[in-house]
Structure 1
Amino acid sequence: MSPFRRAPALLAGASLLCLLVGLLYLASQIRTIFSDQLKQEYAGLVLEAAERAESARAMVGVWQQQAGDGQAQTQAYRHARMELADRLKSLAALVNASPLAAPRMPASALTPDASLNGIDALLATIPPYWRAQRDADGADVRLRIAHVANVLIALAALLFCMLLTALGMYAKRNRQLAGESYEFEYAALHDSLTGLPNRRNLFAMLDEVAANLHAAPMSRKIAVLYVDLDGFKQVNDTLGHRVGDEFLIAVSRAFRESVRKVDVVARIGGDEFAVLIREYSTPDELAEIAQRLIACVVETDTEMGIGVVRASIGIASYPDLVSDYQRLVAAADDAMYHVKRGGKNGYAFAAQAD
């Protein structure tokens, strides 16, 4: 396989690899974004718990100032200390359960009799740490979202390029298949040596011409001239098939140039040809065409210095001589053999059908 043919496959493989890497990167980034968002939410829970603990600590300070004024105030102070201890326990449950390397809360600070100074120091350090952690996670989320957006844009551009490449390859392949199909169809309908339509193509054109004739007759007539090269076998036997092929190519070109462009010159096989006349007026026109075809053979024979090749031609027309256009070729063939039996190198019309 040439480098040019490998290029689309290599491009497609590289594009798919880039797409896969990009998708894996997106998956990892999205997973990290979700993780950072969970960390933000966890930090928010810790900060809420710290705020509740700070509120409870403030209430303890209020009742501490009034604790000696009576039994009710003392009771309220003790209740505030217990509420503070509960808040600190809730805060400690969140802080100490965190997978992060956050400052842990000691168990000594969680009892109702814990030192208020120690609690104050503890509450002074926890919120700033978790607030900073929440802000860092938020910044990381925003940065990763920007990266995801950029990667998505790049992947969209890559997919668009891959689509254009695929469409281009598909269109190119279609053109190749269309070209191959045309070549196969052309080969099936034309003679490989001379390039003229073959027997199959001749009958297809005859059907087409007859259909048009039936659709709008207007006294139109069609005809087939069947040409057989007399003495051509001697050329192959004495001068070789190469010279014979050159003669067939040259006489085919001469036949084609001697008739109208609308008429069809076909090679039936071997040294036999047929000319489909799409429209004519009088038999004299057909006789003139036959004479030109005979002259083409003589001129080609003379130019190549062979001196033995001539032509016998049978003429059949529809609908005046042959009532069924599908028998035109066979009727012209019969008329050609009548010429051969009568001395060759001439032409004859088919007998009129009863």
Structure 2
Amino acid sequence: MTNEAIQEGHSSDQFSMFSSHNSKIKYTYNKIREVRSYKVGELFSAYRDILWDDGRHKYNVSSFIGEIDEILLGERFSAFDQSTLDNLIGTLRQRGNSNATINRKMAALSKLLRKAYKMGDIHSLPEFRRQKERAGRIRFLEREEEARLFSAIRSRSEDAYRLSVFLVDTGCRLGEALGLIWNDIQEHRVSFWITKSGRSRTIPMTERVKEVIKLPPAEGRRPKGPFTKFSQAQYRAIWNEAKAEVGLAADDQVVPHILRHTCASRLVQGGIDIRRVQMWLGHQTLSMTMRYAHLATNDLDGCVTVLETPRSNAADSDSALAPPASKPRKQEKAPRQEKKSDQGEETSPPKAARRSSKSR
């Protein structure tokens, strides 16, 4: 395009194309966007229904994002820099949040910011580093505790009792049990399709699980599943009342999720290998199941025998535990000797004697 054409106003697309004998440069203006700033709460309102399904997890995420927005004082941003993230983590730690709690809150924030970044709402992201978590004590119910707690639950609601038995014998999550429909139960097995990891699994049922999923005959329309009458809030309310009745109100670890821990602990203590426990619980990674590995002490029982053996018998015990020695090689055959006569003399003279007789 010549300068004359430009001066005359014949240019098209506002210099959309400039040509020379060696190159062509294109200028486009339709991709330019206004740089805007957002609050964390505004981004959450825009994408919460896209990123999280309805349920307790979404409720917890809403609480996490609300706290983060409050710490940031509702500040607007177009880029979430590393110093902002570091200050946020420091404030959460000052408030007494454990590393595990911080990781859960940062996971929600990271998911939200990554979505906003992909949609062009913000133009930079910080590096989220997972905080090192300590392996805390896992609380599970003893048989006697289970009996007392379940009896108190049953006195309040037969349906809540049936659900409790189902949870402790299958090890499933509360939401997985409430989402069951009758088509998920086939003969001796139950399938969980709505899971936290997104992966379905099928496990066999114990005899008492087969009993509690049977609904008593009732008039009216049959429910969609064995536990669809309940919501999580209703079950937790009954649980907390029964927990207080049996003297466990002060134990903040005795929540419905303890039934999942109890199932896993009983499987490991019963000698089930950790891989099968992972499949039963539906853990996405083996590291999640390894939290229960310390309960598998059966393989270490032989160590006690060695330690309790008196010193005088230590050598005997060591030899008993040692692997069998390899068999010695067969000895090589001795060189064949010359045959002897009946009188014990050699039948043929030695070579030296033969040579001397020839010389004579």
Pick 1 or 2: higher relative contact order, CA cutoff 8 A, min separation 6: 1
Question: What is the TM-score when the length of structure 2 is the normalising length?
Answer: 0.20
From the two aligned structures, give the one with the greater helix fraction: 1
From the two aligned structures, give the one with the greater strand fraction: 1
Question: What is the TM-score when the length of structure 1 is the normalising length?
Answer: 0.20
The structure having more radius of gyration, on CA atoms, is 1
